């Protein structure tokens, strides 16, 4: 199989720089890594005055994948799951694979705000207190991270379900045993392959088996 275009979309407050080690590894393997810096997240142009919402980021990703010669493997982390689903819903033929890495996986009408934990909502509110327009980065984020456009986190996804027609989909979650039930309760398709890297393998194997998720593939942590 020839090299693939792998488009990498970072989560909130981060830019394409976050994926540079991955890009280098992909290139060494004969693929082409394309790391995206979403609008409003360029460290050289922080907090622009123009309006930026979820639709802005979806349109940016669509422009990129439509300009590439073949359907892409697209990887979205955290907030970027909403961007990934929105773009794949609009143009599913431009995506060969969707990879959600600890990411939002919205249904129609969901927003990042509606999908995240309470502590993250508190961060959105407190972090936006300085400008009312941008959410300041968390203290432990990389020094290159910048404030994130608030409207992208609040706008609801508008999905027809066409994104589900992308045949190859992968979901990677960083979970503890206590979070397994919540993951199972998310009503994953039983045919979905779930890759799990956890030390407490027996707990997870039992939970996934009871839920009928027979496609779970367990990877021993290194």
pLDDT at 124: 98
- For residue 127 the two structure tokens come to 């972090």
Query: In whole angstroms, how far apart are CA 1 and each of 4, 29, 96?
Result: 9, 12, 14
Rounded CA-CA distance 38/35 in Å is: 10
- Residues 187-203, mean pLDDT to the nearest whole number: 56
* Residue pair 16/149 in contact by the 8 Å Cβ criterion: no
Q: What is the side-by-side strand order in the sheet with 95-101? A: 32-35, 5-9, 72-77, 95-101, 168-172, 194-196, 216-218
Residue of 135 and 199 predicted with greater confidence? 135
97 noted as active-site residue: no
Task: List pLDDT tens digits, range 151-165.
Answer: 999 999 999 999 999
Determine which one of 78, 82, 85, 157 is catalytic: 78
Q: For residue 204, name the pLDDT band (cuts at 50, 70, 90).
A: low
- Residues 189-218, mean pLDDT to the nearest whole number: 60
Residue 195 — φ and ψ, nearest 5°? Answer: -100, 120
Task: Set out the domains of the chain in order of their start, with CATH numbers.
Answer: 5-172 (3.40.50.1820), 179-191+198-215 (no CATH)
Task: List pLDDT tens digits, range 27-69.
Answer: 999 999 999 999 999 999 999 999 999 999 999 999 999 999 9
Burial class for 38, CB neighbours closer than 10 Å (0-12, 13-18, 19+): buried
């Amino acid at each position: 199989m020839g090299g693939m275009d792998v488009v990498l979309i970072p989560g909130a407050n981060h830019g394409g720089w976050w994926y540079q080690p991955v890009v280098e590894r992909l290139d060494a393997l004969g693929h082409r890594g394309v790391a995206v810096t979403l609008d409003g997240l360029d460290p050289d142009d922080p907090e622009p005055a123009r309006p930026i919402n979820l639709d802005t980021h979806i349109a940016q990703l669509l422009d990129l994948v439509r300009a590439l010669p073949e359907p892409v493997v697209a990887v979205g982390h955290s907030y970027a799951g909403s961007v990934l689903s929105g773009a794949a819903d609009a143009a599913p033929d431009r995506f060969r694979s969707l990879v959600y890495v600890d990411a939002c996986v919205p249904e129609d009408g969901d927003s990042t705000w509606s999908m995240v934990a309470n502590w993250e909502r508190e961060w959105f509110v407190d972090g936006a207190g300085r400008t009312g327009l941008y959410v300041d980065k968390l203290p432990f984020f990389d020094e290159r991270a910048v404030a994130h456009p608030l409207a992208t986190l609040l706008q609801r996804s508008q999905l027809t379900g066409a994104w589900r027609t992308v045949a190859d989909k992968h979901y990677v979650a960083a979970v503890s045993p206590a979070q397994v039930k919540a993951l199972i309760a998310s009503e994953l398709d039983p045919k979905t392959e779930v890759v799990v890297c956890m030390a407490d393998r027996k707990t997870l194997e039992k939970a996934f088996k009871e839920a009928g998720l027979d496609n779970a593939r367990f990877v021993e942590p290194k």
